[in-house]
Amino acid sequence: MQPDKQFLASQRAADTADAGHSIAIICGGGSFPGAVADAITRRGWRPVMLAIRGWADPNVVERYTHHWVALGQAGRVLSLARAEHCCEALFIGTVLRPPLTQIRLDWQMIRMMPRVVGFFRGGDDRLLSGVASLFEDGGLRIIGVKEVAPEIIGPEGVLGRYQPSPRDRADVARAFKVMAALGPFDVGQAVVVANDHVLAVEAAEGTDNLLARIAELRGQGRVTTPTGVGVLVKAPKPGQDQRFDLPAIGPRTITNVARAGLAGIAVAAGSTIIADAAEVIAAADRAKIFLIGVGEDAT
């Protein structure tokens, strides 16, 4: 196939001239695509934003070389990556599981549809891994954020001024156990435990909604653990393909955890995005909540 030959030629060129190394960033919503692009730029590489229409934020992606693509235009993503000399791409930012009917298919995608329909059954992880395999078959290697922007991944240890108490550490351990138990079901990157009691398990609602729920239930007297007790734990699903959909926290998470009346946040060290670390830690200190990265040994 002619395009693949062209692609391999550009790949070799990129390999031999690292200064011109270009990486495609397939951008969903939020500010993280910009943080990743900045990290790539700091390494002397060139980010190319392939911005998903309806999800990517124009204010974020338009600061860089960018092209707009529709969900489902796998062929267009592959040809743009080739034209921009990218042999690697990563996914970053929010794209909620789309309904099949809202996806705009190009011809390459239509040819792949029998496979794609299969990805839509089952959990998000299967969907994303399936989509990645389509790109890899087209010659575009899908990499993880960790490989090009390790500085936006939360490290191990206490990150702010406040320390978790032994009570908090027990709640953290229990939350990690709940996540491990849910591993086979592709559900739950967030769990809230207070005084050994599981208050909330995230599924389709997202962490902001989950924390708002705790605040609301507390207001209604349905959550009765005292304020300042309980933890939010964020971690990838066990066995999850960590090239996609890493859990993430930001300043808003801190605000919401404080409103929910919890003591702090624990994240899986090495696999949770904390994009504005300085801002997040300052916010945690102001709210008097602890923030800790927990290594795999400790869970």
CB of 71 to a second copy, least distance (A): 12
Which residues, at least 6 apart from 216, have a Cβ–Cβ distance to it below 8 Å? none
* Sign of the C-alpha dihedral computed for residues 15, 20, 26 and 31 taken in this order: positive
CB of 187 to a second copy, least distance (A): 4
Q: How far apart are CA 86 and CA 21, in angstroms?
A: 7
One symbol per residue from 112 to 141: x for binding a second copy (CB under 8 A), - otherwise; what is it?
A: --------xxxxx-----------------
φ/ψ of residue 234, rounded to 5:
-120, 130
Angle ∠(232,38,143) on CA atoms, nearest 5 = 70
Closest listed residue to residue 249, CA positions, set 197, 289, 200? 289
Among 30, 144, 188, 250, binds a second copy (CB under 8 A): 188
What are the residue ranges of helices labelled H in 203-299?
Answer: 207-219, 251-259, 277-287
| Residue 97 interacts with a second copy (CB under 8 A): yes or no | yes
| Residue 70 interacts with a second copy (CB under 8 A): yes or no | no
Structure tokens at 79: 């040809």
Angle ∠(78,91,245) on CA atoms, nearest 5 = 145
Binding region for a second copy (CB under 8 A) out of 31-39, 105-113, 174-182, 270-278: 174-182
| Residue 66 interacts with a second copy (CB under 8 A): yes or no | no
Q: Cβ closer to a second copy: 261 or 293?
A: 261
Residues 204-233 that bind a second copy (CB under 8 A): 204-206, 209, 213-214, 217, 221-224, 226
CB of 185 to a second copy, least distance (A): 5
| Residue 53 interacts with a second copy (CB under 8 A): yes or no | no
CB of 229 to a second copy, least distance (A): 11
Q: Cβ closer to a second copy: 17 or 100?
A: 100
Confirm if 92 and 31 have CB atoms less than 8 A apart: no
Query: In Å, how far are 36, 134, 137 from 51, measured between CA atoms?
Result: 13, 18, 21
Q: Cβ closer to a second copy: 71 or 282?
A: 71
Q: How far apart are CA 285 and CA 258, in angstroms?
A: 11
| Residue 96 interacts with a second copy (CB under 8 A): yes or no | yes
| Residue 185 interacts with a second copy (CB under 8 A): yes or no | yes
Structure tokens at 18: 């690292």
Radius of gyration of the chain (CA): 20
Structure tokens at 10: 């550009």
Binding region for a second copy (CB under 8 A) out of 97-105, 111-119, 129-137, 154-162: 97-105
Q: Cβ closer to a second copy: 187 or 282?
A: 187
- Interface ranges with a second copy (CB under 8 A): 96-99, 102, 120-124, 174, 177-178, 181-182, 184-188, 192, 195-201, 203-206, 209, 213-214, 217, 221-224, 226
